[in-house]
Amino acid sequence: MIKQLTVVLFCHQNQWFAFEASLVKGQGSCSFYDPKALLLPFNQFLNQSTAKDKAQQTTHWLRLAAQSTDAKPWLLGIASEAELIELPAEQIHTLPPHLLARRTFPALQAVAWYQQRLVSIIDARVLQGLAHPWLASVTPDASQAE
Report the range of poorest mean pLDDT among 46-50, 108-112, 113-117, 130-134. 46-50
Report how far residue 77's alpha carbon sits from residue 131's, in angstroms, rounded to the nearest whole number: 12
Phi/psi at 93 (5° precision): -130, 120
pLDDT at 66: 76
The identity of residue 55, as a single letter, is A
pLDDT at 139: 52
Report how far residue 46's alpha carbon sits from residue 144's, in angstroms, rounded to the nearest whole number: 23
Non-local (6+) Cβ contacts of 19 within 8 A are 7, 8, 62, 64, 121, 122, 124, 127
Report how far residue 74's alpha carbon sits from residue 128's, in angstroms, rounded to the nearest whole number: 9
pLDDT at 39: 83
Beta bridge partners of 122: 19, 108
| Segments making up each domain of the chain, as ranges | 4-144
Q: Label residue 119 exposed, middle or buried (CB < 10 Å: 0-12, 13-18, 19+).
A: buried
Please, which pLDDT band fits residue 142 given cuts at 50, 70 and 90? Answer: very low
pLDDT at 144: 43
Report the range of poorest mean pLDDT among 51-55, 60-64, 122-126. 51-55
pLDDT at 32: 73
Question: Contact, 120 vs 18, CB < 8 A?
Answer: yes
Non-local (6+) Cβ contacts of 99 within 8 A are none
**CATH T-level fold of 4-144:** SH3 type barrels. (2.30.30)
pTM of the model: 0.82
What are 18-48's pLDDT values in tens digits?
999 999 998 988 877 677 778 889 988 887 5
